[in-house]
């Protein structure tokens, strides 16, 4: 639960060569004469499983991206965009490094390719830098989102001060479990307290509340001193849960709840009391069955009383592994919730906060592949996931006209895990359409 979501459409995001890429060589000829030409010509067959992974990639690449991982990524790409069909527009000035277009059934990928100087000329770098879906439209994406099993909702809208102008939308007022997207409310409150001179981004606090965490704070000692800005950066960019829970306790649970209301959440009671990640982990597990039953049945006051009464027990040491295994657990009743419109209002509140530090935290990890960011002057992201839940939300300033947009989508399925890569692909397409 609340694991770091998949952060790119895919794959091949590995470049082990610093060789420059230029754009002036002729189109691929029938008889290839360079290592780049030869490997580019084989790329379709590689992705279709007709060329052995070890025969195509240099040992340095194989060490960095094992075959099983490569095949899983390839399968995900094909599931989203169809079979690869042809290589087009290969360009290289030195015969070793260059660019090409890779046509799939449902679009065209921009690819960078680097080949070793060794005699066998195997590939040392392969990167998919962007993807353009063929004849795409909001209507097509909306149809695909609606066909997903479970419940879905999304919104693509221009933001003008406090106004939301939808370009495409579905179920915008429905409450969805959104996983770690709730952490944007914490960032908003932190930025507000800094603006009010209650705190400074440079304030040092102890890492006081440990949770299942990211590589940001994994295995750190309790009470390690860290700045508020570092906690915010970890919480947003890698969804670090220890950073999140520490910030909730530093800022105050009720202060964050008040910020959530002020930001325009339409049903704030769904997130009151505002749970820490470890509290949610614990309540979802088997060690707290009676407490979970009482929590779900209670009103806000009863739930808060239960959390306060069990604060010494709702800790990392008492979380069992069932919270992260099997199938979805209580995602309709024990989670963090927001509608697409709630997320849009939150993005407006964050943007109007005029905090460069908060905005920089959102921009560390854009959530989509690098090619998808090229049409945006600035792009910020937060997503969230657990079994049965995936949510992605982006705030961006369009490069062509400096207008601001929100792209947000959620997919819940209490009956089965959801396919993260599928939603990543759909949201990436929505972002590309919004950029036009």
Question: Which DSSP state fits 199?
Answer: -
User: Where does 357-427 show beta strands of DSSP type E?
Assistant: 376-386, 389-398, 404-412
Beta bridge partners of 404: 159, 397
Instruction: Map residue 98 onto helix, strand or coil.
Output: strand
Tokens of 189: 């409150």
Cβ-count burial 163-173 (b if 16+ within 10 Å, e if not): ebeeebbebbe
Summarised one tens digit per residue, pLDDT across range 186-218 is 999 999 999 999 999 999 999 999 998 887 888
Cβ atoms of 2 and 180 within 8 Å: the answer is yes
Q: Are 200 and 194 within 8 A, CB to CB?
A: yes
Residue 21 exposed, middle or buried by CB count within 10 Å (0-12, 13-18, 19+) = middle
* pLDDT tens-digit map of 385-415: 999 999 999 999 999 999 999 999 999 999 9
Taking 60 as the threshold, does the pLDDT of residue 125 lie above it?
yes
Rounded Cα–Cα distance for residues 241 and 180 (Å): 9
Per-residue model confidence as pLDDT tens digits over 58-87? 999 999 999 999 998 888 888 878 899 999
pLDDT (tens digit per residue) in 211-270: 988 878 888 999 999 999 999 999 999 999 999 999 999 999 999 999 999 999 999 999
Please enumerate in sequence order all residues whose Cβ is within 8 A of that of 202, keeping only pairs 6 or more positions apart, or say none: 227, 228, 229
The ranges assigned to domains in the chain are 14-133, 138-434
pTM of the model: 0.80
pLDDT band, residue 339 (cuts 50/70/90):
very high
Question: Which residues, 6+ apart, have CB-to-CB distance to 56 below 8 Å?
Answer: 39, 42, 46, 122, 123
Domain 14-133 belongs to what topology?
A: Nuclear Transport Factor 2; Chain: A, (3.10.450)
Distance CA 29, CA 375 (A): 32
Which residues face 86 on adjacent strands?
Answer: 103
41-53 pLDDT per residue, tens: 999 999 999 999 9
CATH topology for 138-434? Beta-lactamase (3.40.710)
**Per-residue pLDDT at 218:** 86
């Amino acid at each position: 639960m609340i694991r770091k979501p998949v952060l790119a459409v895919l794959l091949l995001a590995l470049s082990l060569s610093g060789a420059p890429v230029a754009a002036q060589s002729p189109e691929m000829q029938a008889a290839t004469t360079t290592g780049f030409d030869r490997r580019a010509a084989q790329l379709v067959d590689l992705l279709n499983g007709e060329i052995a992974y070890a025969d195509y990639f240099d040992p340095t690449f194989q060490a960095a991206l094992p075959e099983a991982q490569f095949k899983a990524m390839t399968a995900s790409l094909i599931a989203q965009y169809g079979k690869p069909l042809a290589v087009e527009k290969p360009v290289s000035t030195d015969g070793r490094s260059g660019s090409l277009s890779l046509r799939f059934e449902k679009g065209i990928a921009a690819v960078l390719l680097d080949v070793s100087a060794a005699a066998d000329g195997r590939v040392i770098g392969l990167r998919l830098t962007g993807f353009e879906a063929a004849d795409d439209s909001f209507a097509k994406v909306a149809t695909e989102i609606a066909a997903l099993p479970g419940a879905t909702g999304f919104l693509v809208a221009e933001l003008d001060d406090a106004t939301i102008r939808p370009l495409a939308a579905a179920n915008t007022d429905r409450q969805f479990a959104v996983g770690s997207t709730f952490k944007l409310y914490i960032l908003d409150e932190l930025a507000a307290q800094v603006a009010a001179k209650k705190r400074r981004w440079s304030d040092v606090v102890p890492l006081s509340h440990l949770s299942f965490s990211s590589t940001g704070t994994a295995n750190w000692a309790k009470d390690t001193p860290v700045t508020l800005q570092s906690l915010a950066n970890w919480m947003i960019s890698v969804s670090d849960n220890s950073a999140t829970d520490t910030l909730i306790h530093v800022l105050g649970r009720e202060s964050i709840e008040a910020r959530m209301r002020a930001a325009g959440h339409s049903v704030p009671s769904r997130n009151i009391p505002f749970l820490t990640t470890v509290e949610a982990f614990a309540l979802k597990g088997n060690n707290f069955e009676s407490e979970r039953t009482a929590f779900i049945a209670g009103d806000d006051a009863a739930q808060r009383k239960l959390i306060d009464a069990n604060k010494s027990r709702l800790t990392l040491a008492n979380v069992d592994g069932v919270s992260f295994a099997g199938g979805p657990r209580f995602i309709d009743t024990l989670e963090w919730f927001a509608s697409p419109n709630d997320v849009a209002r939150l993005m407006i509140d964050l943007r109007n906060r005029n905090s460069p530090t908060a905005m920089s935290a959102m921009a560390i990890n854009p959530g989509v592949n690098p090619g998808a960011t090229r049409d945006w002057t600035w792009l910020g992201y937060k997503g969230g996931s657990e079994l049965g839940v995936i949510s992605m939300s982006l705030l961006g300033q369009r490069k062509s006209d400096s207008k601001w947009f929100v792209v947000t989508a959620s997919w819940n399925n209490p009956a089965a895990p959801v396919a993260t890569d599928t939603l990543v692909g759909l949201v990436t397409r929505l972002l590309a359409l919004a950029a036009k």
